[in-house]
Structure 1
């Protein structure tokens, strides 16, 4: 396992992040405590140190299992990322949302479940569209000053909100976001329209969730196997199946699993990206860990990009028109260095 710097920080995290949403057996699925411990053992033994959870995962059981595990290991080895925003109770209207009151309450509860004095990375989980972003940035900065959180991050939020937050934090001397978590895979490339360009501009590491599209990109649904994806899902549409077939074909050519190809694609897109790999079985994780030894050629990337291509809409597609390039660069487009 190699290590990457998280965003513009000096924090070193493993190139694959372990997703723990399935730690716990609530809702009739997931890994029990012993299996979860074995998964974390396998991950740590491979050099993994980056654990992703949230206050609501398995009604808090995910954090409790991680807390019990880390309490018996080297806490400082692990980079614990959790999230606030979503309801963990329905006692009052401020027990959910992005507001400062809920952030402070949620963090205190997460600290108890995780059996730790600090959270390494705190994500805002989902934008509520009512809380001012300056309230969020100031509250996260206060938690960092208090030593309860080390770094701030954000998930599932419009690009303009993240940009405003980081710009305001820079001007005010507050801690800025270092990571952006969004759904991103060969079957979900719409973040390329606004979110990923924004992340590149601010130096944010992207941590894709569902990089295997709920298992669709493993090819198991093409083989007729069953899973938790509903038949009417876009992940199983004819277009998605066509993309998955390209993934499977390249995997067969390389002699690796389809999951390796799909995961590695997210890691070779020209920006800082650390996919979140969930597992409820040790064998699942063991297979996905082999991704770090896979390298896709430029031709493989080209084939995958073409099979999964999306329209960027306005203004992305507009900027790519030849007439626009000619007018804005005066005929020198191909001779001018571009910013990443």
Structure 2
């Protein structure tokens, strides 16, 4: 037994460090197929993992976003798998109930009626795509429409659209390029607004932690609806290069002429500020870099900023902000949670 442990340790060590041979790989595969050795391999792999330092001493390295992205990718795959299996489970449960009822003659008539009225709508399945903070994710919908999710956003949609409408549910921000189908309108539903289109490209921003939602049209035509007290009401039809901003707290809205290219700059990997208050700048940086920046002095919120960043690291952005604004900041170490994931890096910003 001790000899096996030593061999497992030696082979795994070489393989995980990138020095393993083809023979080492074959040996590991054989061990994983052996129920007696599989547990030993798992325990030794776990040991190697636990021995990895939380933050390797490499300049500019930050492992938290990488591990967070892996964690959320696992969650996405898990959700998709569960969504795919749920209809089968419902059908099995349904057939089980049918089999049980068949033994009760008095309920035969009800069973026939229920069976005839059972439709595939009960078997509707959904897919959900999540873009972790600090990432942007492309998506393809069942009707051929495409788009991109910004960081911290979730898009939920049926694996097959219904006969009358193509409906998707969004939390966060997304750009849509919708396939035209006048007979089957496309509807983006958020917590406080709905957007109805027939074939166009546009952007919707509706994060759950913000009181404003914004729709910006690039081309085509969209109609925006507000949702208050379970009542849906149209608040405007947009033309290209127009934005509709709805405030759910004050139940007010405004339609503005905008430069859609600036609004869509995030699609090209650009983080843009256009005369925005410092609080909004920080909110955007938090999502873009998956960090937790805390403003410690309210005086900073009286400043506005204009600028564009592309491919800069978080440290570079902070240094540039420090150069143009009266701020100083403190960066805290990343904290590892019990489930193996990491908390967002915390940064406190003070007025000089």
TM range (shorter): under 0.3
Structure with greater strand percent:
2
Structure with greater helix percent:
1
Looking at CA atoms only, which structure, 1 or 2, has the larger radius of gyration?
Answer: 2
Structure with higher RCO (Cα < 8 A, 6+ apart): 1
TM-score with structure 1 setting the length: 0.26
